[in-house]
């Protein structure tokens, strides 16, 4: 692994890779990737982007579950700190945008606490790009004047920080990430709190990639429809009247 000249202070570029379509990678991200000595990347970084990594760089797939072992967050933080301290140009490449449900905030905190400079390069989040590619604008003057981004992962936790009662009352668009595993639980929570069962729902799997697939239904039938279709992560779930626009736009 090459090292920078003496006196070079290693820093970590926390870079968003966008939702999968390589055309959605920012110019700045592309430039920084080209200059990287070490790239630690996630499972959600698109294959095309992975193929473009520079030949000389050390590549670490931290999303990979090696036999019986998955990289824990602490371990990732430690590696980032170590490589930066050794004076390398370190790129931490994450799917979508690093600061939207990507644990980028935790990584930036750990780096800052260790005195390492962090440079953030935002990415296009799947939360917006997947619906866009599916023909669903998240807001529209006739349908939704607000949008809420939610993690669907928390439902199993006892002390969930998500107020489903409040969400059920909101009249805007709800966008749920990491929501496939707990689909039934999340849908039930909204219905239980009075959300209209006829509210349109779309699930967009592998959005913006060549394998993008859209499954639509309403709150009362989406669980069955998704089961039959075999919907799998990663998928973005959009709940709200804006889903109807697909017919005209998508
Ligand atoms: N920081 C990322 C989100 C990380 S959380 C971003 O901004 O996009 C992981 C979740 O993101 C997945 O469970 C899924 O809900 C969503 N996701 C990421 N890439 C996706 C894609 N190409 N298509 C659909 N959903 C995607």
Residue 213 maps to a domain: yes
pTM: 0.94
User: What is the number of residues in the chain?
Assistant: 250
Q: What is the pLDDT of residue 154?
A: 80
Nearest-CA residue for atom 5 of ligand 1: 101
Pocket test for ligand 1, best of 14, 15, 44, 204 (most atoms within 8 A of CB): 44
Residue 5 maps to a domain: no
pLDDT digits (tens, 9 = 90+) for 178-226: 999 999 999 999 999 999 999 999 999 999 999 999 999 999 999 999 9
To which residue do tokens 């039938």 refer? 221
Pair 154, 104 in one domain = no
Distance 177 CA to ligand 1 centre (A): 6
Pair 101, 183 in one domain = no
User: Who wins on pLDDT, 70 or 165?
Assistant: 165
Residue 1 maps to a domain: no
Pair 105, 150 in one domain = no
Pair 31, 87 in one domain = yes
Question: Is the model's pLDDT at 63 over the cut of 90?
Answer: no
* Nearest ligand 1 atom, CA 102: 1
Pair 245, 130 in one domain = yes
Pair 244, 133 in one domain = yes
Buried b (16+ CB within 10 A) or exposed e, 153-167: bebeeeeeebebeeb
How many domains does the structure of the chain reveal?
A: 2
pLDDT grade for 6, boundaries at 50, 70 and 90? low
pLDDT digits (tens, 9 = 90+) for 21-52: 999 999 999 999 999 999 999 989 989 999 99
Question: Is the model's pLDDT at 1 over the cut of 60?
Answer: no
Q: Which domain holds residue 164?
A: 126-249
- Give residue 208's region: left, alpha or beta (phi > 0; psi -120 to 50): left
């Amino acid at each position: 692994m090459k090292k920078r000249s003496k006196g070079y202070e290693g820093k970590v570029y926390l870079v968003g890779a966008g939702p999968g379509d390589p055309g959605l990678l920012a110019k700045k991200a592309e430039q920084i990737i080209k200059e990287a000595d070490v790239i630690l990347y996630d499972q959600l970084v698109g294959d095309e982007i992975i193929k473009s990594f520079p030949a000389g760089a050390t590549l670490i797939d931290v999303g990979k579950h090696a036999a019986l072992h998955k990289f824990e967050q602490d371990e990732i933080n430690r590696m980032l700190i170590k490589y930066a301290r050794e004076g390398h140009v370190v790129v931490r490449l994450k799917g979508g945008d690093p600061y939207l449900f990507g644990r980028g905030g935790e990584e930036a905190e750990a780096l800052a606490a260790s005195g390492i400079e962090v440079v953030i390069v935002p990415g296009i989040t799947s939360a917006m790009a997947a619906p866009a590619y599916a023909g669903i604008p998240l807001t529209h003057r006739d349908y939704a004047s607000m949008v809420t981004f939610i993690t669907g992962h928390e439902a199993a936790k006892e002390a969930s920080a998500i107020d489903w009662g409040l969400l059920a009352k909101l009249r805007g668009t709800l966008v749920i990430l990491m929501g496939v595993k707990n689909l039934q639980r999340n849908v039930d929570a909204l219905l239980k709190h009075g959300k209209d069962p006829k509210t349109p729902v779309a699930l967009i799997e592998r959005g913006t990639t060549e394998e993008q697939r859209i499954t639509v239904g309403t709150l009362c039938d989406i669980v069955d429809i998704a089961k039959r279709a075999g919907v799998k992560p990663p998928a973005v779930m959009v709940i709200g009247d804006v889903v109807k626009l697909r017919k005209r736009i998508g």
